[in-house]
Copies of this chain bind each other. A is one copy, B any other.
Protein backbone atom coordinates (compact mmCIF):
# COMPACT_ATOMS: atom_id res chain seq x y z
CA UNK A 1 0.00 0.00 0.00
CA UNK A 2 1.21 3.40 -0.95
CA UNK A 3 0.28 6.90 0.19
CA UNK A 4 1.32 10.31 -0.99
CA UNK A 5 4.02 11.79 1.24
CA UNK A 6 4.76 15.01 -0.58
CA UNK A 7 4.27 16.77 -3.88
CA UNK A 8 5.97 19.65 -5.59
CA UNK A 9 5.63 21.85 -8.56
CA UNK A 10 8.02 24.08 -10.46
CA UNK A 11 6.66 27.06 -12.39
CA UNK A 12 8.26 29.19 -15.06
CA UNK A 13 7.49 32.90 -15.33
CA UNK A 14 7.93 35.45 -18.10
CA UNK A 15 6.73 39.01 -18.77
CA UNK A 16 7.79 39.69 -22.35
CA UNK A 17 7.92 37.45 -25.38
CA UNK A 18 11.05 37.33 -27.54
CA UNK A 19 9.87 40.32 -29.54
CA UNK A 20 9.25 42.43 -26.47
CA UNK A 21 5.48 42.06 -26.40
CA UNK A 22 4.12 41.85 -22.87
CA UNK A 23 2.58 38.53 -21.91
CA UNK A 24 -0.15 39.57 -19.53
CA UNK A 25 0.07 42.46 -17.12
CA UNK A 26 3.53 43.79 -16.35
CA UNK A 27 4.74 44.40 -12.80
CA UNK A 28 4.32 48.00 -11.63
CA UNK A 29 7.97 48.96 -11.93
CA UNK A 30 7.82 48.02 -15.61
CA UNK A 31 5.23 50.70 -16.30
CA UNK A 32 7.79 53.37 -15.49
CA UNK A 33 9.82 54.60 -18.49
CA UNK A 34 12.79 55.72 -16.40
CA UNK A 35 13.06 52.41 -14.68
CA UNK A 36 12.98 50.55 -17.97
CA UNK A 37 15.49 52.93 -19.52
CA UNK A 38 17.81 52.39 -16.58
CA UNK A 39 17.57 48.62 -16.96
CA UNK A 40 18.16 48.92 -20.67
CA UNK A 41 21.10 51.30 -20.18
CA UNK A 42 22.69 48.92 -17.70
CA UNK A 43 22.42 46.02 -20.10
CA UNK A 44 23.94 48.08 -22.91
CA UNK A 45 26.74 49.18 -20.61
CA UNK A 46 27.44 45.59 -19.63
CA UNK A 47 27.61 44.55 -23.25
CA UNK A 48 29.97 47.41 -24.06
CA UNK A 49 32.21 46.39 -21.16
CA UNK A 50 32.24 42.84 -22.44
CA UNK A 51 33.21 43.91 -25.94
CA UNK A 52 36.06 46.06 -24.68
CA UNK A 53 37.30 43.39 -22.32
CA UNK A 54 37.49 40.91 -25.17
CA UNK A 55 39.31 43.43 -27.32
CA UNK A 56 41.83 44.09 -24.58
CA UNK A 57 42.38 40.38 -24.06
CA UNK A 58 42.89 39.79 -27.77
CA UNK A 59 45.67 42.37 -27.75
CA UNK A 60 47.35 40.93 -24.67
CA UNK A 61 46.24 43.63 -22.28
CA UNK A 62 43.80 41.60 -20.15
CA UNK A 63 43.78 38.03 -18.79
CA UNK A 64 41.42 35.25 -19.79
CA UNK A 65 37.93 36.72 -19.78
CA UNK A 66 34.41 35.29 -19.81
CA UNK A 67 31.82 37.52 -21.41
CA UNK A 68 28.19 37.74 -20.38
CA UNK A 69 26.97 38.31 -23.92
CA UNK A 70 23.32 37.38 -24.09
CA UNK A 71 22.97 37.02 -20.34
CA UNK A 72 22.86 40.69 -19.41
CA UNK A 73 19.27 40.58 -18.24
CA UNK A 74 20.13 38.28 -15.38
CA UNK A 75 22.81 40.34 -13.69
CA UNK A 76 20.94 43.56 -14.23
CA UNK A 77 17.54 42.16 -13.32
CA UNK A 78 18.79 40.55 -10.14
CA UNK A 79 20.91 43.47 -8.95
CA UNK A 80 18.19 46.00 -9.66
CA UNK A 81 15.90 44.15 -7.26
CA UNK A 82 18.46 44.23 -4.46
CA UNK A 83 19.03 46.84 -1.78
CA UNK A 84 22.44 48.39 -1.19
CA UNK A 85 22.79 46.59 2.13
CA UNK A 86 22.06 43.22 0.61
CA UNK A 87 25.15 41.23 -0.27
CA UNK A 88 26.00 39.82 -3.68
CA UNK A 89 28.23 36.80 -4.24
CA UNK A 90 28.78 36.62 -7.97
CA UNK A 91 30.23 33.92 -10.19
CA UNK A 92 32.69 35.03 -12.87
CA UNK A 93 30.03 35.92 -15.42
CA UNK A 94 27.86 38.42 -13.60
CA UNK A 95 29.52 41.64 -14.67
CA UNK A 96 26.09 43.20 -15.13
CA UNK A 97 25.20 42.61 -11.50
CA UNK A 98 28.50 43.94 -10.22
CA UNK A 99 28.28 47.06 -12.39
CA UNK A 100 24.70 47.81 -11.31
CA UNK A 101 25.76 47.43 -7.68
CA UNK A 102 28.48 50.04 -8.12
CA UNK A 103 31.68 48.21 -8.88
CA UNK A 104 33.38 50.46 -11.44
CA UNK A 105 34.37 49.52 -14.95
CA UNK A 106 37.96 50.32 -14.08
CA UNK A 107 37.90 48.00 -11.08
CA UNK A 108 36.52 45.19 -13.20
CA UNK A 109 39.19 45.72 -15.85
CA UNK A 110 41.81 45.69 -13.15
CA UNK A 111 40.55 42.41 -11.73
CA UNK A 112 40.36 40.73 -15.12
CA UNK A 113 43.71 42.24 -15.97
CA UNK A 114 45.19 40.08 -13.21
CA UNK A 115 45.52 42.52 -10.35
CA UNK A 116 44.13 41.84 -6.88
CA UNK A 117 43.44 45.53 -6.39
CA UNK A 118 40.45 45.14 -8.68
CA UNK A 119 38.71 43.32 -5.83
CA UNK A 120 39.19 46.17 -3.43
CA UNK A 121 36.30 48.03 -4.98
CA UNK A 122 35.06 51.24 -3.49
CA UNK A 123 31.51 50.20 -4.25
CA UNK A 124 29.50 47.65 -2.29
CA UNK A 125 32.18 46.96 0.31
CA UNK A 126 30.62 43.78 1.61
CA UNK A 127 29.99 42.21 -1.78
CA UNK A 128 32.24 39.30 -2.54
CA UNK A 129 34.66 39.34 -5.42
CA UNK A 130 34.12 37.12 -8.41
CA UNK A 131 34.26 33.43 -7.49
CA UNK A 132 36.39 31.26 -9.73
CA UNK A 133 36.20 27.80 -8.08
CA UNK A 134 32.75 26.88 -9.27
CA UNK A 135 30.11 26.64 -6.58
CA UNK A 136 32.29 27.59 -3.63
CA UNK A 137 30.44 30.88 -3.21
CA UNK A 138 27.27 29.16 -2.04
CA UNK A 139 28.63 28.09 1.35
CA UNK A 140 29.92 31.64 1.81
CA UNK A 141 26.44 32.95 1.16
CA UNK A 142 25.12 30.84 4.01
CA UNK A 143 27.73 32.35 6.30
CA UNK A 144 27.00 35.90 5.21
CA UNK A 145 23.32 35.31 5.84
CA UNK A 146 24.06 33.79 9.21
CA UNK A 147 25.99 36.91 10.16
CA UNK A 148 23.07 39.08 9.07
CA UNK A 149 20.59 37.08 11.10
CA UNK A 150 22.94 37.09 14.06
CA UNK A 151 23.17 40.87 13.88
CA UNK A 152 19.48 41.31 13.21
CA UNK A 153 20.12 43.03 9.92
CA UNK A 154 17.33 42.81 7.39
CA UNK A 155 19.61 42.18 4.44
CA UNK A 156 19.34 39.32 2.02
CA UNK A 157 22.18 37.47 0.37
CA UNK A 158 22.18 36.71 -3.33
CA UNK A 159 24.55 34.03 -4.59
CA UNK A 160 24.82 33.50 -8.32
CA UNK A 161 26.16 30.56 -10.28
CA UNK A 162 25.84 28.77 -13.59
CA UNK A 163 24.11 25.59 -14.64
CA UNK A 164 27.40 23.77 -14.19
CA UNK A 165 27.61 24.98 -10.61
CA UNK A 166 24.47 23.04 -9.74
CA UNK A 167 26.47 19.81 -10.00
CA UNK A 168 28.83 20.77 -7.19
CA UNK A 169 28.47 19.38 -3.69
CA UNK A 170 29.04 22.88 -2.32
CA UNK A 171 25.84 24.05 -3.95
CA UNK A 172 23.74 21.29 -2.45
CA UNK A 173 25.28 21.49 0.99
CA UNK A 174 24.57 25.20 1.05
CA UNK A 175 21.01 24.73 -0.24
CA UNK A 176 20.38 22.18 2.45
CA UNK A 177 21.80 24.33 5.22
CA UNK A 178 19.89 27.39 4.08
CA UNK A 179 16.74 25.29 4.10
CA UNK A 180 17.46 23.76 7.49
CA UNK A 181 18.22 27.12 9.10
CA UNK A 182 15.80 29.25 7.09
CA UNK A 183 18.53 31.66 6.12
CA UNK A 184 17.85 34.64 3.85
CA UNK A 185 19.75 33.44 0.80
CA UNK A 186 18.51 33.61 -2.76
CA UNK A 187 20.29 31.22 -5.11
CA UNK A 188 20.27 32.50 -8.67
CA UNK A 189 21.24 30.01 -11.35
CA UNK A 190 22.10 31.46 -14.74
CA UNK A 191 21.31 28.49 -16.88
CA UNK A 192 23.01 29.41 -20.14
CA UNK A 193 22.72 25.83 -21.38
CA UNK A 194 26.47 25.22 -21.39
CA UNK A 195 29.25 24.61 -18.91
CA UNK A 196 32.16 25.16 -21.26
CA UNK A 197 31.48 22.28 -23.69
CA UNK A 198 29.04 20.33 -21.57
CA UNK A 199 25.38 20.75 -22.43
CA UNK A 200 22.81 21.38 -19.78
CA UNK A 201 21.19 17.99 -20.40
CA UNK A 202 24.53 16.20 -19.94
CA UNK A 203 25.08 18.11 -16.71
CA UNK A 204 22.10 16.59 -14.96
CA UNK A 205 19.16 14.33 -15.48
CA UNK A 206 16.89 16.81 -13.72
CA UNK A 207 14.16 18.23 -15.95
CA UNK A 208 14.72 21.69 -14.47
CA UNK A 209 17.50 23.15 -12.36
CA UNK A 210 14.92 24.91 -10.24
CA UNK A 211 13.81 21.56 -8.84
CA UNK A 212 17.17 21.13 -7.16
CA UNK A 213 15.80 23.47 -4.51
CA UNK A 214 13.42 20.71 -3.47
CA UNK A 215 16.37 18.73 -2.12
CA UNK A 216 16.90 21.45 0.45
CA UNK A 217 13.21 21.99 1.15
CA UNK A 218 13.30 25.39 -0.56
CA UNK A 219 10.95 26.79 -3.15
CA UNK A 220 12.41 26.86 -6.65
CA UNK A 221 11.17 28.59 -9.78
CA UNK A 222 12.19 29.12 -13.36
CA UNK A 223 12.13 32.45 -15.09
CA UNK A 224 12.87 33.61 -18.62
CA UNK A 225 16.38 34.88 -18.04
CA UNK A 226 16.42 36.97 -21.19
CA UNK A 227 13.50 38.98 -19.88
CA UNK A 228 14.91 41.55 -17.51
CA UNK A 229 11.47 42.46 -16.21
CA UNK A 230 10.66 38.89 -15.32
CA UNK A 231 14.06 38.38 -13.71
CA UNK A 232 13.67 41.47 -11.61
CA UNK A 233 10.14 40.55 -10.62
CA UNK A 234 11.12 37.01 -9.65
CA UNK A 235 14.06 38.32 -7.64
CA UNK A 236 11.85 40.86 -5.89
CA UNK A 237 9.52 38.08 -4.84
CA UNK A 238 12.38 35.94 -3.58
CA UNK A 239 13.95 38.84 -1.70
CA UNK A 240 10.66 39.81 -0.11
CA UNK A 241 10.11 36.21 0.95
CA UNK A 242 13.54 36.09 2.56
CA UNK A 243 13.26 39.53 4.13
CA UNK A 244 9.99 38.49 5.70
CA UNK A 245 11.88 35.75 7.50
CA UNK A 246 10.44 33.00 5.37
CA UNK A 247 13.80 31.72 4.23
CA UNK A 248 15.72 31.20 1.07
CA UNK A 249 14.76 30.14 -2.41
CA UNK A 250 16.18 29.38 -5.80
CA UNK A 251 15.60 31.03 -9.17
CA UNK A 252 16.70 29.34 -12.36
CA UNK A 253 17.12 31.93 -15.12
CA UNK A 254 16.85 30.40 -18.57
CA UNK A 255 19.26 32.01 -20.97
CA UNK A 256 21.92 31.18 -23.53
CA UNK A 257 25.64 31.82 -23.70
CA UNK A 258 26.01 33.58 -27.05
CA UNK A 259 29.79 33.85 -26.86
CA UNK A 260 32.66 31.50 -26.20
CA UNK A 261 33.03 30.24 -22.63
CA UNK A 262 36.00 32.58 -22.20
CA UNK A 263 38.58 34.11 -24.46
CA UNK A 264 40.54 30.87 -24.00
CA UNK A 265 37.70 28.84 -25.48
CA UNK A 266 36.59 28.11 -29.02
CA UNK A 267 32.94 27.13 -28.87
CA UNK A 268 32.87 26.20 -32.54
CA UNK A 269 34.64 22.99 -31.51
CA UNK A 270 31.53 21.74 -29.78
CA UNK A 271 28.41 23.52 -30.98
CA UNK A 272 26.83 24.47 -34.25
CA UNK A 273 26.56 28.05 -35.49
CA UNK A 274 22.88 27.45 -36.20
CA UNK A 275 22.17 26.80 -32.57
CA UNK A 276 23.81 30.07 -31.62
CA UNK A 277 22.04 32.03 -34.35
CA UNK A 278 18.69 30.68 -33.25
CA UNK A 279 19.35 31.97 -29.77
CA UNK A 280 20.29 35.42 -30.99
CA UNK A 281 16.58 35.85 -31.72
CA UNK A 282 15.86 35.65 -28.03
CA UNK A 283 18.61 37.84 -26.65
CA UNK A 284 17.58 40.27 -23.95
CA UNK A 285 18.51 43.73 -25.22
CA UNK A 286 16.41 43.82 -28.37
CA UNK A 287 13.27 42.76 -26.64
CA UNK A 288 13.48 45.45 -24.01
CA UNK A 289 14.34 48.03 -26.65
CA UNK A 290 11.27 46.94 -28.60
CA UNK A 291 9.15 47.51 -25.53
CA UNK A 292 10.74 50.92 -24.98
CA UNK A 293 10.09 51.86 -28.59
CA UNK A 294 6.53 50.58 -28.54
CA UNK A 295 5.52 52.11 -25.23
CA UNK A 296 7.93 54.79 -24.17
CA UNK A 297 9.06 56.74 -27.22
CA UNK A 298 12.54 55.27 -27.42
CA UNK A 299 14.08 56.15 -30.80
CA UNK A 300 17.22 56.04 -32.85
CA UNK A 301 18.56 59.27 -31.44
CA UNK A 302 18.16 58.08 -27.86
CA UNK A 303 19.73 54.77 -28.73
CA UNK A 304 22.73 56.39 -30.39
CA UNK A 305 23.22 58.84 -27.57
CA UNK A 306 23.19 55.97 -25.10
CA UNK A 307 25.70 53.97 -27.10
CA UNK A 308 28.02 56.98 -27.48
CA UNK A 309 27.87 57.73 -23.80
CA UNK A 310 28.46 54.14 -22.72
CA UNK A 311 31.32 53.58 -25.14
CA UNK A 312 33.05 56.75 -24.06
CA UNK A 313 32.70 55.71 -20.46
CA UNK A 314 34.11 52.27 -21.16
CA UNK A 315 37.03 53.64 -23.18
CA UNK A 316 37.90 56.13 -20.46
CA UNK A 317 37.81 53.37 -17.83
CA UNK A 318 40.00 51.14 -19.97
CA UNK A 319 42.52 53.96 -20.40
CA UNK A 320 42.64 54.52 -16.66
CA UNK A 321 43.10 50.80 -16.12
CA UNK A 322 45.91 50.59 -18.65
CA UNK A 323 47.71 53.43 -16.92
CA UNK A 324 47.90 51.55 -13.62
CA UNK A 325 51.37 50.20 -12.90
CA UNK A 326 51.64 46.63 -11.65
CA UNK A 327 52.15 46.40 -7.91
CA UNK A 328 55.68 45.73 -6.68
CA UNK A 329 56.75 42.18 -5.74
CA UNK A 330 56.44 43.19 -2.13
CA UNK A 331 52.65 43.41 -2.59
CA UNK A 332 52.47 39.62 -2.41
CA UNK A 333 53.26 39.86 1.26
CA UNK A 334 51.21 42.93 2.08
CA UNK A 335 47.86 41.30 2.75
CA UNK A 336 48.83 37.76 3.50
CA UNK A 337 48.16 38.33 7.19
CA UNK A 338 47.02 41.39 9.10
CA UNK A 339 50.59 41.73 10.28
CA UNK A 340 53.36 39.76 8.71
CA UNK A 341 54.81 37.14 11.07
CA UNK A 342 58.58 37.53 11.60
CA UNK A 343 59.17 34.39 9.60
CA UNK A 344 57.56 35.86 6.54
CA UNK A 345 58.94 39.31 7.11
CA UNK A 346 62.41 37.86 6.66
CA UNK A 347 61.29 36.12 3.49
CA UNK A 348 59.71 39.29 2.17
CA UNK A 349 63.00 41.07 2.54
CA UNK A 350 64.83 38.28 0.82
CA UNK A 351 62.24 38.47 -1.96
CA UNK A 352 62.84 42.18 -2.41
CA UNK A 353 66.48 41.29 -3.03
CA UNK A 354 65.40 38.82 -5.74
CA UNK A 355 64.08 41.79 -7.73
CB contact under 8 A between A5 and B15, given known A170-B169, A207-B217: no
Beyond A7-B10, A11-B5, whether A205 also contacts B222 by CB under 8 A is no
Tell me how far the C-beta of A235 lies from the nearest C-beta in chain B, rounded to whole angstroms.
Answer: 15
Task: Report the minimal beta-carbon distance from A113 to chain B, rounded to whole angstroms.
Answer: 33
Of B7, B9, B182, which one neighbours A205 at CB under 8 angstroms?
Answer: B182
Beyond A180-B204, A205-B182, whether A215 also contacts B6 by CB under 8 A is no
Centre residue among A6, A7, A8, A10 by max chain B CB count within 10 A: A6
A14 to B3 alpha-carbon distance, docked (Å): 9
Cβ of A246 to closest chain B Cβ, rounded Å: 12
The complex places the Cα of A203 from the Cα of B173 at a distance, in Å, of 11
Q: Scan residues 206-221 of chain A and give those whose CB is less than 8 A from a CB of chain B.
A: 206-208, 210-212, 214-218
Considering only residues 174-206 of chain A, those with a C-beta below 8 Å from chain B are 176-177, 179-180, 182, 202-206
User: When chains A and B are docked, how far (Å) is the Cα of A211 from the Cα of B207?
Assistant: 14
A contacts, CB < 8 Å to B = 1-15, 23-24, 166-173, 176-177, 179-180, 182, 202-208, 210-212, 214-218, 222, 247
CB distance from A27 to the nearest CB of B (A): 11
Task: Pull 9 A–B residue pairs with CB atoms less than 8 Å apart, ordered by A.
Answer: A2-B11, A4-B11, A5-B210, A176-B204, A179-B206, A180-B203, A180-B204, A212-B215, A214-B214
CA–CA, A222 to B5, complex, Å?
8
**CA of A260 to CA of B216 in the docked complex: distance in angstroms?**
27
Contact A204 B222, beta carbon cutoff 8 Å: no
State how many angstroms separate the Cβ of A98 from the closest Cβ of chain B. Answer: 27
Bound state CA distance, A173 and B170, in angstroms?
Answer: 9
Determine if A3 and B8 form an interchain contact, defined as CB atoms under 8 angstroms apart.
no
How far, in whole Å, are A171 and B173 apart by their CA atoms in the complex? 10
Given contacts A1-B23, A172-B169, whether A8 and B214 have CB atoms under 8 Å apart is yes
Cα–Cα, bound, A15→B10 (Å): 32
A8 touches B7 (CB 8 A): yes
Closest chain B CB from A180 CB (angstroms): 5
**Contact in complex: A207, B6 (CB < 8 Å):** yes
Kindly provide the distance from the CB of A238 to the nearest chain B CB, expressed in whole angstroms: 14
Residues of B within 8 A of A10 (CB): 4-7
Q: Which B residues touch A206, using CB under 8 A? A: 176, 179, 214-217
Within the complex, the shortest CB–CB distance from A267 to chain B, in Å, comes to: 21
* Shortest CB distance A209–B (Å): 9
Q: Which 3 A-B pairs have the closest CB atoms?
A: A169-B169, A179-B205, A205-B217
In the complex, what residue of chain B is closest to A13 when comparing beta carbons? B2
Contacts of A13 on B, CB cut-off 8 Å? Answer: 1-3
Known pairs A4-B10, A205-B247. 5 more at Cβ < 8 A?
A: A1-B13, A5-B12, A5-B222, A8-B214, A182-B205
Q: Give min CB distance, A215 to chain B, whole Å.
A: 4
